[in-house]
Chain A
Amino acid sequence: MSLLRVVASAVLILLAITLQVSLFANLSVAGVVPDLALLVVVAAAIVRGPAYATVLGLVAGLAVDLAPPADGVAGRWALALAVAGWLAGQVRADARQSALATIVTVAAASLTATSLYALSGLVLSEPGVSVAAALEVLPVTVLYNLAVTPLVVPLVVWLLRRLDPAPARW
């Protein structure tokens, strides 16, 4: 049961990262693509709660950091997605009941993750990271994530519930 959950999450993360760098590269808006891995983490938070989503965020973020063509210091997306997963888990009680709450959760998680990633880049003085560049990218990222949320989050939530029907604790 728990093994199935781990395998399912791993496959979803692999799929999300592959799609966001390869397939969605054709559909980018000003170079920005939706953070599908983040949406999977948010969906996991809705189904399984904050602890699970935090760990999944760490692992997914590390994969985003290491998967080509990512460059630069690894661990930055790991930090960003872990915190975003924790945050999404805090509001999941509402997110599992209403679509609006889900949207707010995704918006908050995207904002947090993208800002944290940019901030860690500033702290480590990575090339290309500046406040101006971050402010340029931030609104596009949040909006694009919100735009694909109806297509991704319900599907992942349904899949995770289907695979692991144990009642999630409140």
Chain B
Amino acid sequence: MPSLKPAQRPLLRLPLRPARRPSLRPRPVELRERDHARARTALVLSVLTAAAVMTLDAAGDDGSPVDPLRTGAAEVFGPLESGATAVGDPIAEAVDFVGEIHRLRSDNERLESENAALAAEVATGVVDRNRLAEYDALTEVADGGGFELVPARVVAIGPAQTFARTVTIDAGSVDGVRPDLTVVNGAGLVGRVLRTSRHTATVLLAVDAGSVIGGRLDRSMELGFLRGDGSLGADGVLTLDLVDPQAVPAGGDTVVTWGSRGSAPYVAGVPVGEVTRVDTSAGDQSVTASVRPFADMSALDLVGVVVGPDRSGQRAVLSRPEPRGTR
């Protein structure tokens, strides 16, 4: 009897095995190998393609052959980003509300006292109110500095994992925005325009590690260069290297833009930030100062592009109003 059992098992299994083997087992193994071979080919070709694109893009000093593709992508993604931002306003509002109740409370109080009449006209959305305040501040910048500004909203922000501090704004070449124009907000300097598409532009923030800005200390009029280090938010810091090694900035000094030739990429006299720390190195006799930017680069929304007198665009321009009584 016990010798029967082992004999029975294969008998029971036999009907299953022949059915399985030819239909499922051998074919998948064969196909899988072919799949792997295809995947390997795809991987090799993809890596080569990516390397070729990088080489092409990195080699060209100005006018890389990839630029037309970049412009094309901007024409497609720009409007999508503007649209997504419009759709996402309620989300932004919710996040703002949850995350920054303190700031909102004081903002609301200030706005209500300062701007009661205007605030009543505007929808009561939190973001709307903040935006109104920013718009007010921007008008003041245009007013006080004598700049002509094209207002724009930030519609996309470069993620931290790309290591570049760039944003997309919803004003483009149609609105008179060109590369190498200064971008400001109500608080101070934001950055400069890198490239434009028809309806959007890419802005390099002042805190980007590749950004260098000529700066001037307000009290001593000393000149220097401001460099970003890629950090954002509260710890966003610019480093100021002064041209004159004898000049020592003081804490609390304000740094304004020095201004470039032809006002490109930076117009003169835009407030950038405040000196927070001064380091003197005895070795090379150089002085570096840490400058905290006035503009909160991690919470940008409404910005203005400083446009020159020769601009041609469709968007309304904020400028110094005509003095009353001159007409």
Contacts and interface: CB of A to CB of B under 8 A. Distances in A.
Given A68-B197, A133-B230, A23 B70 contact: no
Given A23-B88, A50-B39, A128 B163 contact: yes
B299 to A, nearest CB: 10
Given A23-B84, A75-B53, A67 B77 contact: yes
From A27, A75, A134, residue with most partner B Cβ within 10 Å = A75
Task: Classify the interface of chain B: helix, strand, loop or mixed.
Answer: helix
Interface string B5-49: 000000000000000000000001001100110110111001101
A76 B54 contact: yes
B88 A79 contact: no
Interface in B214-259: 229-230, 232-233
24 contacts: A22-B80, A22-B81, A22-B156, A22-B168, A31-B298, A32-B160, A49-B35, A49-B39, A52-B42, A63-B73, A67-B73, A67-B76, A69-B158, A70-B162, A70-B164, A71-B164, A71-B166, A71-B194, A71-B202, A75-B50, A86-B43, A117-B161, A118-B163, A128-B164
B208 to A, nearest CB: 7
A79 to B, nearest CB: 4
10 A-B pairs with the lowest CB-CB distances in the bound complex, closest first:
A31-B160, A128-B209, A75-B53, A127-B210, A50-B39, A66-B73, A79-B50, A75-B54, A82-B46, A25-B157
A3 interface: no
B91 interface: yes
Contacts of A72: 162, 164
A154 B101 CA distance: 35
B57 A75 contact: yes
Given A75-B50, A170-B31, 11 more contacts: A23-B85, A32-B159, A69-B157, A69-B164, A70-B166, A73-B54, A73-B58, A75-B52, A127-B163, A137-B160, A137-B161
B66 interface: yes
Q: Is the interface of A mostly helix, strand, loop or mixed?
A: helix
Contacts of B42: 50-52, 54-55, 86
B58 to A, nearest CB: 5
Contact of B47 (A65, A79, A141): A79
Given A62-B53, A67-B74, A120-B54, A51 B80 contact: no
Contacts of A32: 159-161
Contacts of A30: 160
B41 A70 contact: no
Contact of B159 (A31, A54, A55, A124): A31
Interface residues of A, number: 65
A28 B160 contact: yes
A27 B298 CA distance: 12
A114 B74 contact: no
A95 interface: no
Nearest to B155: A22
B295 interface: no
B53 A78 contact: yes
A79 B43 CA distance: 9
Interface string B84-125: 110110011001100000000000000000000000000000
B51 A79 contact: yes
Interface string A27-67: 11011110100000000000001111011011001110111
Given A51-B42, A68-B78, A127 B208 contact: yes
A35 B166 contact: no
B165 A141 contact: no
Contact of A18 (B35, B77, B209): B77
Contacts of A49: 35, 39
Contact of B38 (A51, A74, A90, A117): A51
* Chain B CB within 10 A, most for which of A24, A51, A71, A90: A71
Contact of A69 (B47, B88, B168): B168
B157 A51 contact: no
Contact of B35 (A50, A114, A134): A50
B49 A58 contact: yes
A26 interface: yes
Nearest to B165: A128
A143 interface: no
Contacts of A23: 84-85, 87-88, 91
A83 B43 contact: yes
Nearest to A138: B161
